[in-house]
Amino acid sequence: MRILAVNAGSSSLKLSVVDDNDSVVEAQEVGGDADPIAALKDFASPAGEVDAVAHRLVHGGAAVRHATLVTDHVRSQLDAAVELAPLHLPPALALLDAARTSGNRPQIVCIDTAFHARIPRSATTYAVPAHWRAWGLRRYGFHGLSFAWSSRRSAELLGRPSHALQIVIAHIGSGVSACAVREGRSVDTSMGFTPLEGAVMATRSGTVDPGALLWLQEHHGVSVGGLTRSLEHGSGLVGLCGLSDVRDVEREAAVGNAACAQALDVYVHVLSRVIGGLATSLDRLDALVFTGGVGEHSALIRGRVCARLGVLGLPQTLLAADGDAVIGLPDHSPAVVVVTAHEDVEMAREARRVLAG
């Protein structure tokens, strides 16, 4: 069974065809000003016949919590989740609608929050009034497809079964989050009710004191819409130094750009604090796993994070990474691992499970 995986992220569209052996037989990444719907339609032709289409959705809201076959009823339920992930869901749902109108292939939505569905209530509960919680205010967590794949793949690289490992995975891309995984299951994660919580990201702030946001509204007249736009699109690295791509920030910092150097300091400091906090949800730390575009390719970020986390016993000397690899020194514990993100393979697996009933 060949599955077309449609992965609409916050800054790009990734399309790939995955075969029965979990091999990616064709792939394309679309970014910039390209029309994603046109790219999807163009891609479907050279990809050959596929049996089903799997769509990554950052959030399914309260109603759609697991990988699900899309019916008209399911599609109507997904609209309610848009307010929870306004940066990601509108383009992803537009692609879902386009795919549903072209052919009779089953469409399956794969939900990024699903991997975190069984996190303990102590880690999902906000200390807010009970009637707020009754409205559904809780921590959901995101990047679940990436974490699920990385958990399995890092166990293979370490030569140990997933159920014997306790690890923290850091997914570092345009969006950034981390997850504590015990015995193959998520037990804590850094993103919350929306993908805004947690670490500093490309254009998103990460955690900000809610009192500061109330102060901005009361004393500076910043509207709810203004807060949303600024926190989603004008914060993070771009808010600190005007650049959103870590590669550009690293390059500028290396030639003396003080704002970029400070942005990297903040970025690494907050990410390290997030990872360190998540480690307290484990009994021990067997490995720190880096994935996502930055996690896979930035030796600088990996090295600086491990340096900050020496208190957890992480090695201070790392090997170069060329694809999936254990980059800590041999026999060092905790290990440090780099895993190439393959959300598409995880989506294909989930789609097959749904279609198999």
Sequence-ordered strand ranges (E) for the chain: 3-8, 12-18, 24-31, 52-57, 68-69, 107-111, 166-172, 176-182, 185-189, 287-291, 325-326, 335-338
35 is catalytic: no
Report residue 310: phi and psi, to 5°: -55, -25
* Structural fold of domain 147-338: Nucleotidyltransferase; domain 5 (3.30.420)
Provide the pLDDT for residue 51. Answer: 92
Q: Domain residues of the chain, as ranges?
A: 3-111, 147-338
pLDDT in tens, the chain (357 residues): 899 999 987 667 899 999 999 999 999 998 767 888 888 888 865 556 899 999 999 988 878 989 999 999 999 999 988 888 887 889 899 999 999 988 789 999 999 999 999 999 999 999 999 999 999 899 999 999 999 999 999 999 999 999 999 999 999 999 999 999 999 999 999 999 989 999 999 999 999 999 999 999 999 999 999 999 999 999 999 999 999 999 999 999 999 999 999 999 999 999 999 999 999 999 999 999 999 999 999 999 999 999 999 999 999 999 998 899 999 988 899 999 999 999 999 999 999 999 998
Rounded to whole angstroms, the Cα distance separating 351 from 17 reads 12
- Amino acid at site 170: A
287-291 vs 335-338, strand pairing mode: parallel
Rounded to whole angstroms, the Cα distance separating 287 from 304 reads 16
State the catalytic residue, choosing from 35, 79, 112, 245: 112
Domains 3-111 and 147-338 share a fold: yes
* Structural fold of domain 3-111: Nucleotidyltransferase; domain 5 (3.30.420)
Provide the pLDDT for residue 323. Answer: 92
Question: Cβ contacts of residue 111 below 8 Å, gap of 6+?
Answer: 57, 59, 60, 64, 65, 66, 67, 68, 144
Provide the pLDDT for residue 259. Answer: 98
Provide the pLDDT for residue 326. Answer: 97
162-191 in b/e form (b: 16+ CB < 10 A) is beebbbbbbbbbbbbbbbbbbeebbbbbbb
Rounded to whole angstroms, the Cα distance separating 16 from 345 reads 9
Contact 161, 155 (CB under 8 A): yes
